[in-house]
Structure 1
């Protein structure tokens, strides 16, 4: 995969939710550098650098020299002209890179950051505009003495860095592959941390084999009905059950025998920001598989209101930490705004066709209509019973009227 620029979020995506792309506490790279609310963490970055230098007993000039030869290449990774001198840019690369490395090591050693600060930093490191070129981090990791990582039991700093980073996001990205092995060549293909996260989050091999979005019969499809409408048509929902030590990927959705089986998704305060930045990467990166955009499209179809969220919560598919079902509905409905979904590469095309085929059967449609019209409202249900009873009495009266004449 060719190197992608570190891009700005497109205006139309940014306008839907500006805060989702803004760092809380720390700027990484040039795009958010110098903002007032982030200046306090600049002192923390310097302290992290001093701690690293003190431990390694080295001078900062060694790290500046290590990055200097690649500074021009690193600068060209950013899509916008930067109003910063070459010297300032070089210092920023070293300061921000060493901060990330020290922060990761501190977390592995259970160093005492406040819970809120640590959570905020992890949030900021997964923002698409808040990135360093990955080769800068690799160069710093190569230059830092390996004994620096002895306390966390690693002889391979780059592998430690990658796997520790993936594990930090594992709980927020169900099915994220956390033990990926990268050789020197494949490591060169990683653009930045957001790309690292995205490239390790994809459907399981079984799901990929079961659903081939490029099959001719899957090249045209239409959206499915909401969760409550599907339930009224006799379609049930079930959370994926996994065996011990097995993990289900968020994207592994199945439909069999009238049951839509889905993995559990936890919706927290920072879920929208994480999803938005990963979706922005999918929209910007040429050739990048858009599995999250496609998953969100499934959820957008299933969720039209808080009632749909309530149903999926009852089935164990959504774990709602926002508290308000309507807020979750709005979240999924807005995540798809201004995104492109290529129909010929839609991973769930076959699943959508099967669900629509089941829903389209005449009896299921009548069942859904009756349930929706008469069984959601107690007064409507009573009216339905009264009307049914009246029809039965009319039929009986007609029968008894005819019978005497026949005798």
Structure 2
């Protein structure tokens, strides 16, 4: 019942008897061809966080830097390291329970607590420096190098590289008066929009307690990734589509099929539009107007770390014991349908919807193509796809859209159309009066009328 409520978009309450864990990567995600190519995006490149990749020789450089970040966090919070150690030790048993059974057996409480403290301080120090534009962010370049610094963000959001949020919360309470709300908000805005300005109407810490940072960011991400559908459909059309929708409910292939790309939708009269009103909590909205359609999308920033973050959020949704609505997977699936050609990316850029730092638009197409989406929320995906397909099947709207896109897409095309229409009209009149000339009497009457108009003088004013 809980899964069914998730799939139809209703919020569920987690049963108290379920004990969620920080899972490892589901093996099926890396068995296919794309999965094997994407395997590197699930493994840390610079720093290990937590016990799953601890003591890897290739990540030893970051272990030295963790001691620096521990000292810096101690100095910034005004607390001694011993005090921080004791506060984290109060939740060490709860933190140990967050990992799968047997993964922490090699560490006693003292060793495990030391690991949690160093890793958590590393994460929070990096987030604080980046979010508040702190000059200490240059320490990352000094100890990890430019390439190492560029990969820290992706390592923080790996599924197998998570720190229990119960540990992060202890340190956030000691460092910030608002439990780190502003810092986390600014950091998540940087990932989503490429800017550090906090959006106060968006809350990252809600009633549901997050298990780790990846889950918290996913909650923030999907708060902007809801699907809306607004269209006007006649009763006769609705009666026919209701029967079609019922047939599709039992056909997985029809329900799971993709829709047209951005440029194909534009040819059908559906134009993409950037939605700046994020208070509605809807990332994708479709409106079917009188003679055109609008697909509203909230703007997003795509960087070199986006692929790893998307893949690990999808992996989180694929893990067992995590009933959810597959919101991130559905969003990525929609974007995979919309972006199949560099012209699609160009159109999204020109509409201020997509901002990317990958160099070429082809790289964005390649990124979305290489992301595998095993499952989506068919209810949400179908609502959007059906609305678009119903609009495209309306001949009146598609013909009106073709007229607009072909002949009125620019001022020069509009002028050319008017000139061509004037020439065609005058040619028609000339041909018509050549075949059927006016009678001579009518010609004389027209000439007399013109002469009278020429001799007419308006009466003088008194």
What TM-score results when the alignment is normalised by the length of structure 2?
Answer: 0.64
Q: Residues 15-37 of structure 1: CA distance to partner in whole angstroms, max 9, x if unpaired?
A: 34123223332221112222233
Counterpart contact for 1:49–1:95, Cα < 8 Å? yes
| Residue matched to 1:286 | 322
Distance 1:325 1:43 in 2: 38
1:49 is aligned to 2:70: yes
**C-alpha separation between the residues in 1 aligned to 2:200 and 2:22?**
23
d(CA) in 2 for partners of 1:360 and 1:320? 33
Unaligned runs of 5+ in 1: 370-407
**Aligned CA distance change for structure 1 residues 118 and 250 (closer, same or farther; 3 Å):** farther
Distance of 2:384 and 2:355 partners within structure 1:
23
Match of 1:201 among 217, 221, 246: 221
> Partners of 2:366 and 2:72 in 1: how far apart?
44
Which residue number corresponds to residue 306 of structure 1? 342
Q: Is 1:321 the counterpart of 2:357 in the alignment?
A: yes
- CA positional deviation for 1:133: 0.8
Partner of 2:135: 111
Written as runs of structure 1 = structure 2, the 5 A alignment for 1:61-210 is 62-79=83-100, 81-82=102-103, 84-86=106-108, 87-107=110-130, 108=132, 110-114=134-138, 116=146, 118-142=149-173, 144=174, 149=175, 154=176, 156=177, 159-174=178-193, 180=203, 182=205, 186=207, 189-203=209-223
TM-score, length of structure 1 as denominator length: 0.71
Distance 2:111 2:62 in 1: 17
CA shift in 2, pair 1:356/1:203, >3 Å: farther
Structure 1 residues 208 and 311: alpha-carbon distance in aligned structure 2, compared to 1, 3 A threshold: closer
CA contact (8 A) 2:70 2:121 kept: yes
Matches of 2:389 and 2:126 in 1, distance apart? Answer: 49
Structure 1 residues 111 and 365, CA gap change in structure 2 (3 angstroms): closer
Aligned residue in 2 for 1:30: 51
- Range with greater deviation from structure 2 (284-293 or 24-33): 284-293
Contact 2:262 2:339 survives alignment (8 Å): yes
Aligned residues: 349
Cα distance in 2, alignment partners of residues 248 and 171 from structure 1: 20
Q: Which runs of 5+ in 2 are unaligned?
A: 1-13, 232-240, 250-254, 403-462
Structure 1, 199-208 or 79-88: larger mean CA deviation: 199-208
User: What do you get for the CA RMSD once the two structures are aligned?
Assistant: 4.0
SS in 1 for 2:355: strand
CA contact (8 A) 1:236 1:260 kept: yes
Match of 2:288 in 1: 256
Report deviation, 1:45.
0.9
| Distance in 1, Cα, partners of 2:133 & 2:51 | 29
Q: Of 223, 235, 238, which residue of structure 1 is paired with 2:258?
A: 223
- How much does 1:6 deviate? 0.7
Q: Give the distance between the partners of 2:172 and 2:270, measured in 1 at CA.
A: 52
What is the rounded CA distance, in whole Å, between the counterparts of 1:234 and 1:6 in structure 2?
Answer: 46
**Tell me, what secondary structure is at the counterpart of 2:272?**
strand
